[in-house]
């Protein structure tokens, strides 16, 4: 049964995404393409499946106390607006050049994050006094916009940016970004559903990804609680470098 293979792909992707705050879209799309799905089917299936996986992931992180509710609102609302605008108006525009530019910036962020966690041994505060709330508004809108119009990018943009520019505890960043992604996924799907008649969605793929990801989400949220902040920072830095290096090479 094909949905079993999709469920396995979804569980692996969610383990990475729920632990590091990024990677479900890229990982599951790559695995789906490897299993023989077309690029169009993989993209549509991932966006639809993320509604279920992000809901369970966000709840799991909230239950583990990994979510900052104040920052969640500041990210999720503009992220949803950016996502629906990106999905509705810009899905047909060629953004390949923009993807390379964004991936290059994120690649530099990945190296900065890696350096900071390997060589900076000073203790950093675990809370952030937010002096400019619009910072998270702009970050959320940008992440949602790129995620919907560029075929993925919420986690790879928002997670490393927050880790390199704020002093928020890494597990709080990962949990909050994961929870906010539910709103982004719903908003993006609304935009894509407007063109549902032109999409050949493989619902077995959607169901399998959602099932596998939902089962793995609580496990990933628990892992984040157990990992030390330095190790999380190093893992996220490596993930950012690998993801964006892959995007630049394959573009």
> In the numeric block, which tokens belong to residue 70?
């104040």
Gap between the Cα atoms of 149 and 29, Å rounded: 16
Q: Confirm if 48 and 206 have CB atoms less than 8 A apart.
A: yes
**Which residues, including other chains, have CB under 8 Å from residue 131's CB and lie 6 or more apart?**
none
| pLDDT tens, residue by residue, 145-202 | 888 766 567 888 898 889 888 888 889 999 999 999 999 989 888 877 776 555 566 7
pLDDT in tens, 115-133: 877 776 444 444 445 556 6
Q: Is the pTM of this model over 0.85?
A: no
Count other C-beta atoms under 10 Å from residue 250's C-beta. Answer: 7
Q: How large is the angle between the packed helices 229-250 and 96-119, nearest 10 degrees?
A: 150
Taking the C-alpha atoms of residue 11 and residue 22, their distance in angstroms, rounded to an integer, is 14
Cβ atoms within 10 Å of 251's Cβ, excluding its own? 10
Residue 204 has pLDDT above 50, yes or no: yes
Query: CB–CB of 24/177 below 8 Å?
Result: no
What letter does residue 64 receive in the DSSP assignment? T
- Of residues 92 and 135, the one with the higher pLDDT is 135
Per-domain residue ranges of the chain: 2-250
More confident residue, 60 or 89: 60
- Between 123 and 4, the higher pLDDT residue: 4
- State how far Cα 60 lies from the chain centre: 16
- Are 29 and 43 contacting, i.e. CB atoms less than 8 angstroms apart? yes
Tokens of 237: 């830095």
CB–CB of 22/152 below 8 Å? Answer: no
The values of phi and psi at residue 174, to 5°, are -60, -45
């Amino acid at each position: 049964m094909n949905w079993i293979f999709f469920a396995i792909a979804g569980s692996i992707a969610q383990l990475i995404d729920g632990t590091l705050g990024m990677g479900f879209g890229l990982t599951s799309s790559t695995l789906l393409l490897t299993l023989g799905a077309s690029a169009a089917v993989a993209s549509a299936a991932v966006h639809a499946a993320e509604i279920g996986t992000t809901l369970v992931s966000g709840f799991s992180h909230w239950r583990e106390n990994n979510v900052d509710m104040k920052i969640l609102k500041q990210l999720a609302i503009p992220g949803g607006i950016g996502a629906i605008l990106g999905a509705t108006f810009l899905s047909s525009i060629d953004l390949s050049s923009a993807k390379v530019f964004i991936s290059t910036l994120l690649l530099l962020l990945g190296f900065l994050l890696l350096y900071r966690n390997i060589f900076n041994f000073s203790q950093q505060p675990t809370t952030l006094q937010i002096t400019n709330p619009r910072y998270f508004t702009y970050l959320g809108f940008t992440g949602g916009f790129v995620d919907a119009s560029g075929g993925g990018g919420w986690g790879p943009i928002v997670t490393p940016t927050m880790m390199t520019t704020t002093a928020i505890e890494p597990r709080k960043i990962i949990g909050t970004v994961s929870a906010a992604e539910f709103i982004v996924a719903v908003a993006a799907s609304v935009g894509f559903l407007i063109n549902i008649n032109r999409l050949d969605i493989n619902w077995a793929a959607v169901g399998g990804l959602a099932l596998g990801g939902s089962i793995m989400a609580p496990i990933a949220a628990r892992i984040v609680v157990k990992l030390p902040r330095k190790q999380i920072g190093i893992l996220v830095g490596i993930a950012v470098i690998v993801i964006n290096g892959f995007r630049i090479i394959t573009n």
